[in-house]
């Protein structure tokens, strides 16, 4: 049955029943004037923003975690003053980002710092990346610190230098340990992209709201938005589970 | 071979090593005994700079390794270290555990390292475990692999930090056996241990440490049969029953 014909048939009724009415509203939220295309436009933006924010967040996070760990692992009495200064900057960054709401950070970025920018989607991606970096940094730092110091000692005592020890011994093990929390952080990031609509980022919620202003019917656009996010998170969780199982290979007995 | 002068180490206000002077000669098997907290592990860990001494100098074959400009990585390549808790890399197979350092430090090509690894594994009877992961091995097997991993770097001296203390009793023997063979081959060894039988049988010199000092040293037969220091007498009466 053609959805449009069904819609026209139901609309012609004087007193549509419950399901008929529901169908009419759903039709208006999805099929009418090819509105579904807009959701997918929004989905494209959401994925794009997530990827940009993810890359930025991981880069910032690794950088801050390495600086903070290197600073904390210095031998007492042999501290590098420049590293101390950079470490203090990193601490301020983490404190401010973790101490203020994402939404407020987004509005400060969108309406104050980049008030004149016209590409609000990019401003949103930038804010999310900066926000995510602080959390990723703490996750990575926790992973590096949780590893038995004997592992790094074994590497160094074999004559491997600091970088090789990190690359082959410390980081692979720390990565495996932090993968669940990192996955969690990425899911939060993916869902937080919905916030960028407050500064005018054109992701799924933005288009859903645009449809609502025409139909005055919020239920279906928001439910569709929710389902789209849920599907993305489910796909991501599945991929994460696969990766975790692969990394557990060395645990089998 | 290793010359230690006035070695002092303190953690905060806690003085762990108090001006130790020692010389380790090539081919010697120095066994360090003493109660826990006596500084024996710290002494051993200072020898390859896993702990940075607070004061004093350590010289390895003419290179002062306590000098901040010394290339510590190249010195550590010549000093094998075996830990109480094995510290095998759980994310790598046994083969990779053994070959990683020789290959990365360009001591050997991957093919040479692999040949060395297999030859060494055969020596300790664990050839068939080359492609297993550490989690699949028993404690005794892990420690034998850890010894092999250190030997693959062809070190001039081997440092053992309580290599049998974390093992179940029935696995102590197999690890000591490997260490005895190593001693017979003429390897210079510094061993911190609670295995008095091993100290007596293999040691060419025994150091008794307490409160950051070497309280008494000498040939094993003198240390165990005719201890002079009252603390050593007390310690031996507690551990030899």
Report whether pLDDT(A253) > 80.
no
pLDDT score at A10: 86
Tell me the chain A residues in contact with residue B95 when contact means C-beta distances shorter than 8 Å: none
What is the rounded distance in angstroms from the CA atom of residue B44 to the CA atom of residue B80?
A: 12
The partner residues of B190 in beta bridges, in order of sequence, read: B30, B159
Report whether pLDDT(B119) > 70.
yes
What is the rounded distance in angstroms from the CA atom of residue A9 to the CA atom of residue A110?
A: 46
User: Backbone dihedral region of B19: left (phi > 0), alpha (psi from -120 to 50 degrees) or beta?
Assistant: left
User: What is the value of pTM for the model shown?
Assistant: 0.81
Instruction: Give the residue carrying structure tokens 């190593």.
Output: B182
Q: Which of B74, B101, B135 sits opposite A250 (nearest CB)?
A: B135
The partner residues of B57 in beta bridges, in order of sequence, read: B5
pLDDT digits (tens, 9 = 90+) for B6-47: 999 998 888 999 999 999 999 999 999 999 889 999 999 999
Residues A172-188: what's their mean pLDDT? 91
Tell me what the pLDDT averaged over chain A comes to. 90
> A253 at the B interface (CB within 8 A)?
yes
Lowest mean pLDDT among A34-38, A192-196, A249-253: A249-253
pLDDT band at A29 (very low <50, low <70, confident <90, very high): confident
Q: Which of A148, A155, A251 sits opposite B135 (nearest CB)?
A: A251
Q: Residue A151 and residue B89: Cβ atoms within 8 Å?
A: yes
pLDDT score at B171: 92
Tell me the chain B residues in contact with residue A148 when contact means C-beta distances shorter than 8 Å: 85, 87
What is the rounded distance in angstroms from the CA atom of residue A130 to the CA atom of residue A122?
A: 12
Report whether pLDDT(A226) > 90.
yes
Q: What percent of chain A has pLDDT over 70?
A: 97
> A149 at the B interface (CB within 8 A)?
no
Q: Which residue of B has its CA nearest to A153?
A: B50
ipTM associated with this complex = 0.90
pLDDT digits (tens, 9 = 90+) for B59-79: 999 899 988 888 899 999 999
Q: Residue A251 and residue B73: Cβ atoms within 8 Å?
A: no
pLDDT score at A246: 87
Question: Three-state SS string across B123-149, please?
Answer: HCCCHHHCCCCHHHCCHHHHHHHHHHH
Sheet with B79-82, strands from edge to edge, namely B79-82, B157-161, B188-192, B29-33, B205-210, B213-218
pLDDT band at A75 (very low <50, low <70, confident <90, very high): low
Q: Residue B100 and residue A150: Cβ atoms within 8 Å?
A: no
pLDDT digits (tens, 9 = 90+) for A89-123: 999 999 999 999 999 999 999 999 998 888 989 99
pLDDT score at A76: 61
pLDDT score at B97: 96
Count of residues in chain A: 253
The answer to whether the beta carbons of residues B130 and B93 sit under 8 Å apart is: yes
Helices (H), B124-229: 139-151, 169-184, 196-202, 220-225
Tell me the chain A residues in contact with residue B83 when contact means C-beta distances shorter than 8 Å: 150, 153-154
To the nearest whole angstrom, how far is the Cα of A146 from the nearest Cα of chain B? 15
pLDDT score at B158: 96
pLDDT digits (tens, 9 = 90+) for B146-201: 999 999 999 999 999 999 999 999 999 999 999 999 999 999 999 999 999 999 99
């Amino acid at each position: 049955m053609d959805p449009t014909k069904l819609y026209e048939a139901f609309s012609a009724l004087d007193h549509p029943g419950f399901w008929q009415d529901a169908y009419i509203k759903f039709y208006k939220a999805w099929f009418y004037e090819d509105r579904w295309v807009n959701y997918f436009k929004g989905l494209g933006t959401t994925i794009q923003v997530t990827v940009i924010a993810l890359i930025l967040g991981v880069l910032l996070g690794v950088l801050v975690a390495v600086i903070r760990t290197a600073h904390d692992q210095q031998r007492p009495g042999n501290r590098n003053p420049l590293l101390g200064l950079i470490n203090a900057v990193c601490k301020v960054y983490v404190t401010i980002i973790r101490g203020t709401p994402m939404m407020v950070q987004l509005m400060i970025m969108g309406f104050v710092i980049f008030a004149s920018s016209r590409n609000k989607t990019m401003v949103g991606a930038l804010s999310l990346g900066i926000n995510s970096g602080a959390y990723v940094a703490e996750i990575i730092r926790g992973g590096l610190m949780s590893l038995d110091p004997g592992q790094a000692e074994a590497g160094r005592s074999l004559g491997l230098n600091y970088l090789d020890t990190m690359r082959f011994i410390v980081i692979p093990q720390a990565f495996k340990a932090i993968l669940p929390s990192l996955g969690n952080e990425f899911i939060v990031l993916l869902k937080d992209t919905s916030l960028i609509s407050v500064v005018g980022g054109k992701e799924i919620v933005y288009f859903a709201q645009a449809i609502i202003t025409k139909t005055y019917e919020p239920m279906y656009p928001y439910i569709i938005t929710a389902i789209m996010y849920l599907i993305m998170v489910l796909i991501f969780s599945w991929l994460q589970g696969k990766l975790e199982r692969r990394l557990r290979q060395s645990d089998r007995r | 071979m290793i010359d230690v002068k006035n070695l002092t180490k303190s953690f905060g206000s806690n003085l762990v090593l108090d001006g130790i002077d020692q010389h380790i000669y090539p081919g010697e098997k120095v066994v360090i005994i003493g109660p826990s907290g006596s500084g024996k592990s710290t002494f051993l860990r200072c020898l390859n700079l896993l702990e940075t001494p607070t004061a004093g100098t350590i010289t390895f074959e003419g290179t002062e390794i306590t000098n901040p400009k010394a290339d510590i990585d190249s010195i550590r390549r010549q000093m094998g270290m075996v830990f109480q808790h094995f510290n095998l890399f759980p994310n790598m197979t046994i083969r990779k555990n053994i070959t990683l350092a020789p290959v990365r430090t360009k001591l050997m090509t991957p093919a040479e390292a692999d040949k060395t690894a297999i030859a060494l594994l055969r020596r300790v009877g664990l050839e068939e475990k080359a492609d297993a992961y550490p989690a699949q091995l028993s404690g005794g097997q892990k420690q034998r692999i850890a010894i092999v991993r250190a030997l693959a770097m062809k070190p001039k001296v081997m440092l053992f930090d309580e290599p049998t203390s974390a093992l179940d009793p029935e696995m102590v023997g197999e690890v000591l056996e490997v260490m005895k063979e190593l001693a017979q081959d003429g390897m210079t060894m510094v061993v911190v241990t609670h295995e008095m039988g091993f100290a007596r049988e293999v040691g060419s010199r025994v150091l008794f440490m307490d409160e950051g000092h070497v309280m008494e040293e000498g040939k094993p037969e003198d240390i165990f049969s005719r201890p002079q220091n009252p603390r050593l007498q007390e310690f031996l009466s507690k551990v030899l029953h």
